[in-house]
Amino acid sequence: MAYSRYDSDKQVPYMDGIPVKISEQYKPPKKITLPSAILNKLNPETVLPEYDFTLERSVMEKMSEWRQLRNSQRSARRERIEAERQARVASEPEEKLGPPERPLSPPTSKPYPILTPVPINRLDVNQSSRSVPDLVQQLETELRDKRE
């Protein structure tokens, strides 16, 4: 019961009014301080040192060089892509409207047979064990017989 509305729920601490002495072992140690004579004498070399910024300057110079190099590579790439695109457009023939031109195949002397469905009951069980070319040949002969 963290929060209670009733006074009966409040607990009275049992140690109220009883003096307690803490052992020296459990007390925190005293803070270490320098003598005031040392604090007043500050070394001017340590207070305001002259900082050498050569590292920072060299890093900034390298960064600017790399940025310029990247920009030049990017512009060279754009120019190369544009030149390739223009060369490709120049080499491609103009698109013609209409169907694409295809070479006509020479007419064949004998036309291809038109396949017609064959009922499955016409094939015997013995014929099913025959090879596919034999079955095709048989069907072609049947078709020729029907035409005649």
- What pLDDT is attached to residue 6? 61
Mean pLDDT across the chain: 79
Q: How far apart are CA 38 and CA 105, in angstroms?
A: 109
* Contact assessment for residue 138 and residue 127, using Cβ atoms and an 8 Å cutoff: yes
What is the share, in percent, of the chain residues with pLDDT greater than 70? 66
Q: Which two tokens stand for residue 13?
A: 């601490």
Residue 30 lies in a domain: no
* Contact assessment for residue 68 and residue 76, using Cβ atoms and an 8 Å cutoff: no
pLDDT at 20 over 60: yes
- What pLDDT is attached to residue 105? 64
Residue 66's domain comprises: 50-91
pLDDT at 142 over 90: no
**Block residue for tokens 């963290």:** 2
Residue 77 lies in a domain: yes
Residue 33 lies in a domain: no
Residue 83 lies in a domain: yes
pLDDT in tens, 107-116: 666 667 778 8
pLDDT at 2 over 60: no
CA 6 to chain centre: 62
pLDDT in tens, 45-100: 666 667 889 999 999 999 999 999 999 999 999 999 999 999 998 887 666 666 66
Residue 110 lies in a domain: no
Residue 73 lies in a domain: yes
